[in-house]
Structures are given as structure tokens and as C-alpha cells.
Structure 1
């Protein structure tokens, strides 16, 4: 697989991810939804100050730490993709790693820049130790709602496929309503998840080829050594 293929995949994921995020951010008020395919697939606008699927911690300091971690992860990903290309890993594994890398960049863009290019966004309130929503549509502005590294990630993909109630005999959750799939996510999150899940499912196929290549090189080296020793 060539470097240009990786660049194309990354640019495609980023283009689709950012285009949809900007559309949602500037056309939806936070907390509103629009059905795409019945009730089971909706565009539902939420902002996520934390990690994938709404996990967050530590207020503003936690937000900065998470963004810095994403920066480090992207830097490591750049080196790692170059490494697996040189080692000629399985094409499927390279594609999966590229999807994870592209997804990480997509959410990093939100964290780094959305706070300084949009006029509205969720802000941390230390009195209630949580983030508070805002009203109205967000717009591009020179006066951002926050500072560099403190932007919120835009999420919008919502698939409430199944609704129901847990039986009363189920411990802790008995009688409570449940929904599948509850998390709201974005294209970048989907790219990361697809990459990780695919590696987990196809790991034997991905790494078998690489291991066979290593064994082949080892056999060739051994054969050369044996031939030289026989000549001497």
C-alpha cells in the first residue's frame, strides 16, 4: 500500500467528518434532532467536551489534558503508520490503522479550534461542576466561545434502534427503560470504532501474512549462512 492511499483515506474521512460537523453546528440548535430514516436513524446535535460517546472528566483542566493526549496520539499515529508501511503489513491492517488515525485527527480539530472559530459552545461551570448548554445557532466568529485546546467535539449520529423495559427480575435495572443504541457519535468516532473492531475481528488474517514474511526472511538468512559455511 502506498502513502498516497493513506493520504486519500485520511482526507476523505476528515472532509466528510468536518463538513457534517460544521453543518450541524451552524444549522441545529443544541439538543434538537431531525429524522433521517424513520425514528431509528436521526441527526441529533449534542456537544461533547470529553472523549468518544460522551465520556468526560476534570472540567477545563481535564479538557486540556484530553486534547494534549489527542495531540500526542496523533503524533504517535503518524510515526506508526510510516513504520507499518515500511514493514509491509497486511493492507487491511494498514487501512484500519489509517481509519483510527483519521478519526483521531477529526476529533482533535474540534478540540483545538472549534472554541476559537465559533461564537457559541458548551462552557464549564465550576459551581455545578458540569458543562452548560447554550441557546440559538452558532456562527463563525473572531470572538470564540473558548480558547485554543478547549473546543467541544460535535456529535450527531443517533441510532435508537430498540426501545424496551428491563424485566423486574433483572438486578439494579429491573423495571427501567432501555434503549439500543443510546450513544450519539460522529464520523470520526465511527472511523475509530470501525478500525478497532476490524482489527479485532481479522487480527489472525492481518498478522499471519506479516509473520509469514518474517519467517521467510529468517529462512533465507539461515540458508545463506549455511551455504557460506559449507564453502569455507
Structure 2
């Protein structure tokens, strides 16, 4: 496992946050809201369309009176959690693709946290009747992929009879969406590589060098024992194959003949 520095991934996060805020402020100061200030980028299906989003990503909202405040606080905790998780992944040597994806998600979370925390004060765009402009700022959305818009038929549950268009989002929402898609599409590669790297070396127990040497030593001992047993078996079989005269020859059978010659 090789630890990595999270610095370059936080640099990407800062660059994306700066881009997100620059686009939002440019739209706020140089575009008129709604259809009056709409700018066509690619035909009729890709446009810049300035709208204010009081809720979550892609225009979703919480209906409670303090829903916006709860959402802003949740975003703050999510931002801190994602940042901590990114550092933890880098120290554990996670794949770069997973770290880049987490950096993009963190950038999107921080970008929208800035809007909801400060825009109600500095841009004065908090919804009417908000208890405080702090943490009640509305997020600026501008990217409009106009695939379809119109009234939904009445027979459709929940949304029937309402006017609908594809969601309008911003750079921060795009960062979150792309980062999540990267993790979903490549999760086997990201988390599979991380699992392999974590299991390559033991975290506890014998020293890795000793662990790599011990099996070899045991193998040599087994080979030596097997060779010794083979030698013993061979020597025993050799003794069995000798003639009986040679096996029974003793100094006692030779001594009488030598005595006769002496006499």
C-alpha cells in the first residue's frame, strides 16, 4: 500500500469551486433572469437560463418551513465528511480515478454550500419571509439542456397537469453528477484495486520478509527429509541384494583355513 498526498486532488477541488463561483456571479450580474435573458449556446437544446433554486440540486426542495436551513446544515456536514473521506482514501493509497471523482463531488458540495450560506446576505436573494438571510441563500442555476418541455397529462400520478421542463443546473451540480457516475461505472475497478492493495501485505503478524522466506525454508526441509529417506531405502535394498555367502562371511570362517596352512 502506497500512501498518496491529497494535495493535487484538493487543487482540482479549488479550481472547480472557483469556476463554479465565477460562472454564477457572471450570470447574476450580466444576465436577466428567466426567458428574457436566455442565451442559446447550441441550437435550441443547450442554453444559458438564469434561475434561482431555493432547494437542492436540479430544483428539488424541502417543503418544511426550516427545510432550507436543514439543507444548508446538511451540506456543511456533507462537505466536511467528503473532505475527510478524500484524505483517508489518499492515505490508504486508493486509485487515482476514485480520488479525482471524490474531489469533483467535494467541489460541487462546497460550491452549493457557498451559495446557500452567503448569497442571501451578499446577493440579497434569500426567499421572501426567510427568518434570516444567512443559510437561506438561493443557488444560481444556468445550464439548461432543453430536451423537452410542456404540460404532463392529467392521468400521470403526482405530476399530472403540471408544466415540466428538463432540470436547469449549474457547474457544481455537474461536478457532483460526473463524480457519482464515475464511481458507479468504475466501482469494481476502484474498490477492487483498493481491496487487492490492502491485502497484499499483512497489517499484523510476522514481518513480511520473514513471511516470504518461511515457506521456502520449510520446502527445503521437506526436500532434505525426503532425500534422507530415499538414501536409507536405497542402502537397505542394496544390503538385501548381496549374496548370502558375502552376508554370512565372518572372521570365524576364515580363521580355520589360515591355521591349517600354518600347521
The TM-score with structure 2 as length reference comes to 0.69
C-alpha distance in structure 2 between counterparts of 1:44 and 1:162, whole Å: 15
Say which is worse superposed, 59-68 or 151-160, in terms of deviation: 59-68
- 2:14 maps to which of 11, 15, 26: 11
Relative distance call for 1:79 and 1:219 in structure 2 (3 A) is: closer
What residue in structure 1 maps to residue 137 of structure 2?
151
Relative distance call for 1:202 and 1:37 in structure 2 (3 A) is: same
Are 1:22 and 2:6 an aligned pair?
Answer: no
What residue in structure 2 maps to residue 192 of structure 1?
176
The TM-score with structure 1 as length reference comes to 0.78
* C-alpha displacement of 1:77: 1.4
* C-alpha displacement of 1:172: 2.7
Contact 1:60 1:124 in 2 (8 A): no
Say what the alpha-carbon RMSD is for the aligned residues. Answer: 3.2
* Per-residue Cα deviation, 1:157-198 (whole angstroms, up to 9, x for no partner): 0001356898x9xx638x98997x700000000000000011
C-alpha distance in structure 2 between counterparts of 1:106 and 1:90, whole Å: 25
C-alpha distance in structure 1 between counterparts of 2:121 and 2:12, whole Å: 27
Q: Secondary structure at the residue paired with 1:157?
A: strand
Relative distance call for 1:192 and 1:123 in structure 2 (3 A) is: same
Contiguous gaps of at least 5 residues in structure 1:
127-144
Are 1:63 and 2:63 an aligned pair?
Answer: no
- 2:85 maps to which of 72, 75, 80: 80
Relative distance call for 1:178 and 1:200 in structure 2 (3 A) is: farther
Relative distance call for 1:146 and 1:35 in structure 2 (3 A) is: farther
What residue in structure 1 maps to residue 49 of structure 2?
44
Higher helix share: 2
Alignment of 1:137-216 (within 5 A): 147-162=133-148, 172=156, 182-216=166-200
Contact 2:148 2:166 in 1 (8 A): no
Higher strand share: 1
Are 1:98 and 2:84 an aligned pair?
Answer: no
* Per-residue Cα deviation, 1:30-83 (whole angstroms, up to 9, x for no partner): 223111111111011111111101111135511111000001011111211110
Relative distance call for 1:63 and 1:35 in structure 2 (3 A) is: same
Contiguous gaps of at least 5 residues in structure 2:
219-263
Higher-Rg structure is 2
Contact 1:59 1:124 in 2 (8 A): no
Relative distance call for 1:118 and 1:80 in structure 2 (3 A) is: same
* C-alpha displacement of 1:113: 0.4
